[in-house]
Amino acid sequence: MAVAGGPAGYVHAPIHESLTLSALLSVPGSSVTLGTRLESASNADWEYIRGVVWNDDPAGSLFRDSPGSNHTYALGVEWYPQYKRGAADWNPAQLSGERFYNVVGRSHYGDMQFLHCMASVAGEQPGDTKRKVMTWMEVMYKLSSGEDPQITPGALVEDTKLGDLLDTPPDFPGGSVPPRFQPLSYMLAPGSKFLALDIQKRALGSIFHVIQDSYAVGHTQRVPLNEADQASKGYRDAADMCIKLATLRFTGTSWSGPEGVEEFLDRNVFDLDHNATPANDRVTAFVMAPFVVNGNVIAPENVPSHVPRMASKTNFILVQSRGPLTPAQKEDLARSGAHLLEYLGNYTYLCRYEPHDLQPLRDKHYILNVSIYLRELKSTTALKQAVRTETDKEDYEVDCILHEAPGIVPLELAPQVAKAARVGEDNLEISANKIRLVINQKMLPAPAKLDFVNRIEEVHGDDVSNDMARGALFMAGEGGVDLLSSKYEGNGQIICVADTGIDLGTRGENPPDLTRHPAFKDRVIKIETVWEGDDGFDTHGHGTHVCASICGSGVFQDPKNSDIAIQGTAPASKIVVQSISRPYPSNPTLKSLRIPSDLSDKLFQKAYDAGIRIHSNSWGKPWTDEGGQFDYEDQATQIDRFVYGVPLSKVPPDHVHSGAANQTPASHHEDFVILIAAANNGDKPSDRGRWPSQIGAAAAAKNAITVGACGSNRPNDTFAFVQGVGAKAVTGINDTAVFSSRGPTKAPTNGSGVARGRIKPDVVAPGVAILSAASRALAPGNRSRELNGVSVDNDWIFKSGTSMSTPLVAGCVALLREALEDLYGNKSPSSALIKALLVNGAVNFSGKLGPGFGYDYEQGFGRVIVDSSIAMIRNGTFVDGRGARGGDSCSGSTRFDVPGLVQTGSGSERRYESGDLAIPAGIGRCRLVATLAYPDPAGAALQNSMNLIVISGESFRHGNMGRHGGDGFDNINNVEKVLWDNLPGPTFKVIVEIANNWEPHLPASFAVAWDLREMAKL
């Protein structure tokens, strides 16, 4: 199905609609005006579109028609069950006696598959299929043109040739749907309330659908006239044939006679090859669910028919199973040579496959379809959109991301990339898994032809995206607990900050210049620079402000009012600064933010090797309406890969210890906490209806803590500090900052066919009018000193943004690590445990999804309240499930460390249970809050899956499913939270189950934290 309707109304790509509009725009007489788009099409235009959709929706259940509108999508709650039931109704092993009453089932699985240019049953002769198609085309064309007085909107179905075509077998009792005794208008617009029906337009639209489907690989096998045709040619052929058919229609050409429509279709569209064979199951049963690759929506209807059926020129394929792969099925695929590389959604996997013959995979009972990995899928949709719209831009800086597979070594393959792109090898920037280059847009298709290239994405620049803030994070009020955190200030903790530098510091350890700034005395261990020529000076002012929000301590001197003591959230911690400012060659005193291509090598690994376990990043992508929301791109991939590593299952056993540079799986760093700003794009889209979500790129990483911004208690106008009598905080502490980027992330289509993104941001913290240290590299009159409010002390400056929120949360992470070490001697808690504690302590105040969820897409899981998190550490209401790929299943360092979960293990190995936990007597009305977090392999879709279950009395709740989630589980997020008010039993139990794992025989890491809170304190 390649129309936009379906569950939730927006599941599928509108392929048929778009092809139909593009054809009609090119034909005088169609009444569709130039410039019409799907969202701007009139009711009259939509009558064509409703016709082309009808073949997929002959019951008319994908739309809610009203007297004045014909293009309001329904929820699909009627259509989808009919579609699913159709597969069972038309199962050859046991045909249902009700099958002819389900017209959606007849169209997609039964005797009416000619509507999609498909045979009705395996073994049907090509001539019979063509006869059915041509019969339908004849009646619809004559209905559209009005040339036959016997075929009108009021003519009964049984009085046309369709009477026999749609008839039921002689031995079938009863009638059928569509009813043959009803008029053609009822068949094409069943039950419609729309008053301006145009059945002639709908008939023409139905013809278009058949033509378009005849060029889809899931329907008809075509032999290209030119074997050199590119895969994308199918789209063009379908559009061209619709244009030619429409031209014949609007120039008055009759169905019959020389050069008539019948002859055109017979010879140009449905001409049978002399080697045409009877239909087989591999064509008629091709029902691939949509999924997304690099933003490209893939379904059988938009895959051209002449894609090679063999993998003779590639080692990378797409495999779609009929359901979740079991561990045994994964092993079976591996024995057959198909090694899973990434899960793409809808049971579809990118695989490495060296044999040429794909048929052994197609023949497996659990496999739905197999295709080669098309080169057209390698360029991201964002890059394609940029090339289409930026007409004045010729050269693009791009990353060629390489497949993770043996023998793919970037340094060795760089010459091939340079040759394909027609650039010099000296112009390539080579890192662990990609090659960066500047390429002319005309040459962009060339690298995509290289088999070792996984995807090509445009390189976008990044932007840099507190006394009262500290109090907001510690405050016990709304949803907090009694103040505990004053004991912890980050002693023994080191945070690495990647930013624009710091103050007047210079490269090296214990930089002396910093001792002159009151905020950083004895707090900066080292300043590193990434780019040649950078001295570490913070000429932007951003990095200094960020660093002081973590560890700074000083006094804001106000001559007119009393002085104010200012501290970061972890004033006893120390920092290492990684300056990522790049000097301009022409003027080294001027710098711009430049994120290194290889985050792992240039930033994360250096910090990790120095013993640092917290990494704060206050930068993100700037917004453009043309590009819109960023995908899960390579920055997110690198973050997730650094934390999780590369699963051993992605590398064949004979390559694991081969010694080649990139043939040994990347190490995992599951105790490394990476924080990333959500970015400041919440108020940037000019059309919020089109772009309701903005979080993407690095901020979409699953294994990072993505931080959004809320307001503060300081008087502000939503962005800047304001002062004066009666000044108020327009954006208060519980409000989401207007600029804070919203989620969810862009999402692949999940197993049920409903597109949903992950919950982001994870948490929020104050980010409006934050007072912190000012870089002395900023001139006193620099504009940025007053952009977010006037400061009367030149050592301190106001700034707003998620850049300000992120370091505040980084300092809170330091406090949690300090508390774990202080109370239990735990020096290496997992990043999953830190996230679980942080999220479980947070409280969502925006509540956009309603009560009981505990999250939304503005504040994520809520505002950080670190006291609540520390209370859980003190009370010991958490566990850290230690998976260790290739090592011991449990470190056993504290009593809270438990074994990771093994998918193929026994019941106790697959499932963690807390045991029955008593609700204290006399606590009164209470709320249970529990959070599960676990690391996940790199990939836009969730690769592993665990489930959080809480049981009390005879009732249960599942993570992220709200109050009425029923039996459903979240298979989108690797963070799950349960909020449960007034538990029904005297005890409760926290359970974590593993549902899927890339490494089913090895323990998988997880962490879970829980807290029981009195309702009176919420």
DSSP letter for each residue of 771-833:
EEEPPTTS-TT-GGGTTT---SSTTEEEE-SHHHHHHHHHHHHHHHHHHHHHHH--S---HHH
Residue 913 φ then ψ, to 5°: -130, 135
Distance CA 659, CA 647 (A): 17
Residues 537 and 437 in one domain: no
Residues 128 and 266 in one domain: yes
Query: If you average pLDDT over residues 858-887, what whole number do you get?
Result: 87
The strands making up 897-899's β-sheet, listed across from edge to edge, are: 897-899, 878-882, 1006-1014, 926-933, 975-981
Residues 514 and 661 in one domain: yes
Residues 210 and 319 in one domain: no
Confidence bin at 282 (pLDDT 50/70/90): very low
Percent of the chain with pLDDT over 90: 51
Q: Kindly tell me the burial class for residue 625, based on how many C-beta atoms sit within 10 Å of its own C-beta (0-12, 13-18, 19 or more).
A: exposed
Residues 355 and 408 in one domain: no
Distance CA 358, CA 641 (A): 30
Q: What confidence score (pLDDT) does residue 656 get?
A: 42
Residues 336 and 298 in one domain: yes
* Catalytic residue from among 65, 399, 499, 867: 499
On the question of pLDDT at 242 being above 50, the answer is: yes
Residues 484 and 548 in one domain: yes
* Catalytic residue from among 431, 579, 581, 803: 803
On the question of pLDDT at 891 being above 50, the answer is: no
Residues 390 and 370 in one domain: no
On the question of pLDDT at 606 being above 80, the answer is: yes
**How far is CA 343 from its chain centroid?**
12
For residue 585, cis peptide bond before it (omega within 30 degrees of 0) = no
Closest to 666 measured CA to CA, from 636, 641, 649: 641
Residue type, 217: V
Instruction: Say if residues 208 and 80 touch (Cβ distance below 8 Å).
Output: no
Closest to 998 measured CA to CA, from 948, 943, 947: 943
Residues 804 and 664 in one domain: yes
Q: What confidence score (pLDDT) does residue 792 get?
A: 66
On the question of pLDDT at 790 being above 80, the answer is: no
Dmax over CA atoms of the chain, in Å, equals: 99
| Structure tokens belonging to residue 971 | 């298979």
Please tell me what DSSP assigns to residue 1007: E
pLDDT tens-digit map of 50-97: 999 999 999 998 888 999 999 888 766 678 788 888 888 888 777 877
Annotation marks residue 164 as catalytic:
no
Q: What confidence score (pLDDT) does residue 9 get?
A: 36
Evaluate whether residue 831 is within a structural domain. no
Pairing of strands 770-773, 796-799: antiparallel
Confidence bin at 965 (pLDDT 50/70/90): low
Q: How far is CA 979 from CA 467, 510, 536, 702, 959, in A?
A: 31, 46, 46, 22, 9
Closest to 618 measured CA to CA, from 747, 866, 809, 901: 809
Annotation marks residue 499 as catalytic:
yes
Query: If you average pLDDT over residues 560-573, what whole number do you get?
Result: 86
* Catalytic residue from among 542, 545, 668, 958: 542
Q: What is the pTM of this model?
A: 0.73
Identify the domain boundary among 458, 482, 517: 458
Residues 359 and 433 in one domain: no
Q: What confidence score (pLDDT) does residue 650 get?
A: 62
Evaluate whether residue 541 is within a structural domain. yes
Residues 388 and 372 in one domain: no
Q: Count other C-beta atoms under 10 Å from residue 205's C-beta.
A: 28
Closest to 184 measured CA to CA, from 149, 218, 159, 204: 159
Say which residue the tokens 């090598």 belong to.
601
Confidence bin at 532 (pLDDT 50/70/90): confident
Distance CA 498, CA 481 (A): 33
Report the b/e string of 463-495 with b at 16+ CB within 10 A: bbbbbbbbebbbbbeebbbeebbeebbbbebbb
Identify the domain boundary among 377, 399, 433: 377
| Count of alpha carbons within 13 angstroms of residue 91, beta-carbon side | 8
Residues 277 and 293 in one domain: no
Evaluate whether residue 454 is within a structural domain. yes
The CATH number linked to 992 is 2.60.120.380
pLDDT tens-digit map of 635-666: 999 999 999 988 766 655 544 443 333 334 45
Q: Which of 352-356, 559-563, 616-620, 772-776 has the lowest mean pLDDT?
A: 559-563
Q: By residue range, what is the domain housing residue 435?
A: 381-458
On the question of pLDDT at 468 being above 70, the answer is: no
Annotation marks residue 542 as catalytic:
yes
Let me know the angle formed at the C-alpha of 772 by 769 and 778, rounded to the nearest 5 degrees.
Answer: 100
What total number of domains does the chain contain? 5
Q: What confidence score (pLDDT) does residue 486 get?
A: 63
